[in-house]
Amino acid sequence: MVAVPHRDMSRPGPAAVRVAVVDDSVVVRGLLSRWLGETAGVEVVGTYRSGREIIDALPGAAPRIILLDLDMPDMDGLTALPLILAKSPDSRVIVVSSLSVHGAELTMRSLMKGATDYLPKPSNHREVSTSADFRQALIAKVLAVGGVRALPRQSPVPTARPVVPTARSPFSTHSPVARPTPASPVASFRPAPPTALAADRSGGPRLRPFERTRPKLVVIGASTGGPQALVLVLAKMRPALARVPIVIAQHMPPIFGAIFASHLKQHAGLPAAEAVDGKPLMPGTIYLAPGGCHTVVRKKPDGQYVMAMLPSEARGPWRPSIDLLFSSAAESYGNEALAIALTGMGRDGTEGATHLARRGANVVVQDEASSVVWGIPGSIAEAGLANALLPPEKLGELAVALLEGNVP
């Protein structure tokens, strides 16, 4: 069987998101290419049955997005990934993999090697062909990831930019299919007077002035593209990580939690584990909110800070919820919390950032240029809640400065 190029001449033009499908199953290749071919703004430029076939087609095929299966003959996806990125550095690779334990480990390794995001794939052809949830997730992911420009090799310190619209679909593949409930309006938040705001001359989002309180807790929220961004942030935070506990809400299925925590431990050089209900928060430890439920922080009557788990029904489709984590940090730590919002689809985190800002806590967000999808950080910036907009490496350096009491 040979690679099959596709060209939909009914939707030519630079606006179309060019997609290549790589899977050893002819059924999966056919379904994915048909669904995407029926989607306005998407052009399927080819289907391939192995990693070697897509590598041979690059860079000529010039796909914006490559949907990559991991378990394939001839050359598997994990082996092919770095070769794909070397030949087509502007392409975004979305791993489409099963949710077995083995598949989750391979997927996490692919994210650490440069894959942009992942999409859980049903376990058999029948489920793939009949799952409306999977089809909806696929289309939403392609439109969201394909709607932004390629990441720069070296992330410069950017100027603030006008907020771009968030993903066309509110569905996140990291959570069960549901329509998110509207976030509480942020209009009730009253920012500092205009004279105190650092407005970008290009008309970008206004930034809040920094508060001078040294943080005693760091909370981080992320979704699409988050694993890579988190590693970059934590690597730069290494000099100050031992000072405070760090709690992370990354949208992902439950099976990924322990695996991702292990990778964070390896890259950060500190203890990292999934959060456990009732466990005290300890400085120098990274706590990852488990998928499928929500993690919050609480202050007990004796002054001890602990983690608490809430049922998944407590808030919308995002599991874990960044809003709930940020809001609980505001309630428990007040202005002694530092929040970092990284790349991701949707608005999760904006309501929580509102509560943090009201309590005088600093909220710093990833800039548009380095974000895979500027939904979560862009929404917070648009609401006037951010103190800084920076790429992940600079956010990590800024966090160190704040933890050491050096306010910009």
Catalytic residue among 33, 88, 223, 328: 223
Cβ neighbours of residue 378 closer than 8 Å, sequence gap 6 or more: 163, 164, 166, 365, 368, 371
Report whether 11 contacts 43 (CB < 8 A).
yes
Report whether 19 contacts 146 (CB < 8 A).
yes
Catalytic residue among 24, 50, 251, 263: 251
Beta bridge partners of 222: 250
Burial class (CB within 10 angstroms; exposed 0-12, middle 13-18, buried 19+) of 73: exposed
Nearest CA to 170 out of 147, 140, 146, 145 is that of 140
Is 355 an active-site residue?
no
Alpha helices per DSSP H over 98-208: 101-112, 125-130, 132-146
117 DSSP assignment: E
Report whether 304 contacts 282 (CB < 8 A).
no
Is 302 an active-site residue?
no
Peptide bond into 59 cis (omega under 30): yes
211 DSSP assignment: P
**Which SS3 state, helix, strand or coil, does residue 167 take?**
coil
Beta bridge partners of 118: 95
Q: How many angstroms separate the CA atoms of 154 and 133, rounded?
A: 36
Q: How many CB atoms lie within 10 A of CB 380?
A: 33
Q: How many angstroms separate the CA atoms of 138 and 168, rounded?
A: 12
Nearest CA to 140 out of 108, 115, 114, 175 is that of 175
Is 102 an active-site residue?
no
Report whether 88 contacts 45 (CB < 8 A).
no
82 DSSP assignment: H
Peptide bond into 320 cis (omega under 30): yes
Catalytic residue among 312, 348, 367, 379: 348
Helix 101-112 vs helix 257-268: crossing angle, to nearest 10: 30
Catalytic residue numbers? 223, 251, 348
